Amino acid sequence: MYNIERLIRGYKYLNDTLSYKEYMEYLIKTYKGVLRPDGLYDFPGDVDISGQGLNIVPTIFGVVKGDFDCSKNYFENLRGSPESVGGDFYCSYNQLENLIGSPESVGGNFNCYYNKLKSLEGSPESVGGSINCSFNKLKNLYGCPQSISNGIYCSYNHLKSLEGCPQSIVGNFKCYYNHLKSLEGCPESVSGDFDCSYNQLQSLDGCPKNVDGDFWCYGNLTQFTEEEVRERCDVGGRVYV
């Protein structure tokens, strides 16, 4: 049995190549990695390396068919991440300023909240679930995946613009608690709820043309009326002003 605490400590500071090797072997054995000709390993299920004090992603991952959780470490970038993840991807609670090195595709949700993100550059090309990039330092959404199947959650950032956002959102679009003075760049259609509450909006210029769910816009500099909202947007659900 490996002394995992010693291995992780040695891996974190990269001052013991044997510990690095042993830790890689531990991951491969524990999560049943299958060696590929290129030297990477594919994994048939979930892989969890969260909360292990790591400062770089172990460079062994090819395809992970289940969830991949590397949250609660000290990563400053995601280089070494799997090429693709079939389930959910978690990289929250790290020190990331961008998403360079992310998997090319994530079949489930992509969770990168509680980092230091200033850019979504490097994010996956496609996300089969939602993307949650809340609690970061984003000022715009450039670099956001353009193919997302279940909503965008970008609240509690420093957003001053929604530029970079996909023009059509399947699921919810939540951008409350930001610094938005305009909704320019907003998606034209949202199949779920739309929430732009607690920003600095004085008009609804740029808001979606169609929201299938509820429309939330209270807590802004202007107190909008339901009539104003429905004049601008075809809302299928309730309006909260």
Other Cβ atoms within 10 Å of 201 Cβ, number = 22
How far is Cα 217 from Cα 25, in angstroms, rounded to an integer?
52
pLDDT at residue 1, as a whole number = 35
Amino acid occupying residue 76: E
Work out the end-to-end distance of the chain between its first and last CA atoms, rounded to an integer number of angstroms.
Answer: 59
How far is Cα 115 from Cα 137, in angstroms, rounded to an integer?
8
Closest-CA residue to 164 (of 185, 136, 134, 135): 185
How far is Cα 102 from Cα 190, in angstroms, rounded to an integer?
26
Residue 13 has pLDDT above 70, yes or no: no
How far is Cα 122 from Cα 105, in angstroms, rounded to an integer?
11
Average pLDDT, the chain: 92
- Residue keyed to tokens 């049943």: 32
Residue 9: band (very low, low, confident or very high) from pLDDT cuts 50, 70, 90? very low
Summarize pLDDT for 101-143 with one digit per residue, the tens.
Answer: 999 999 999 999 999 999 999 999 999 999 999 999 999 999 9
Mean pLDDT of 186-194: 97
How far is Cα 34 from Cα 98, in angstroms, rounded to an integer?
30
How many Cα atoms are found within 13 Å in the side-chain-facing hemisphere of 238? 3
Residues 6 or more apart whose CB falls under 8 angstroms from that of 198 comprise 176, 177, 178, 218, 219, 220
Kindly list the domain boundaries of the chain, sorted by start residue: 1-30, 43-139, 159-241
Least confident of 9-13, 69-73, 131-135, 190-194: 9-13
Rounded to two decimals, the pTM is 0.91
Residue 180 has pLDDT above 50, yes or no: yes
Spacing of C-alpha 184 from chain mean position = 22
Residue 20: band (very low, low, confident or very high) from pLDDT cuts 50, 70, 90? confident
Return the structure tokens found at 125.
């090309």
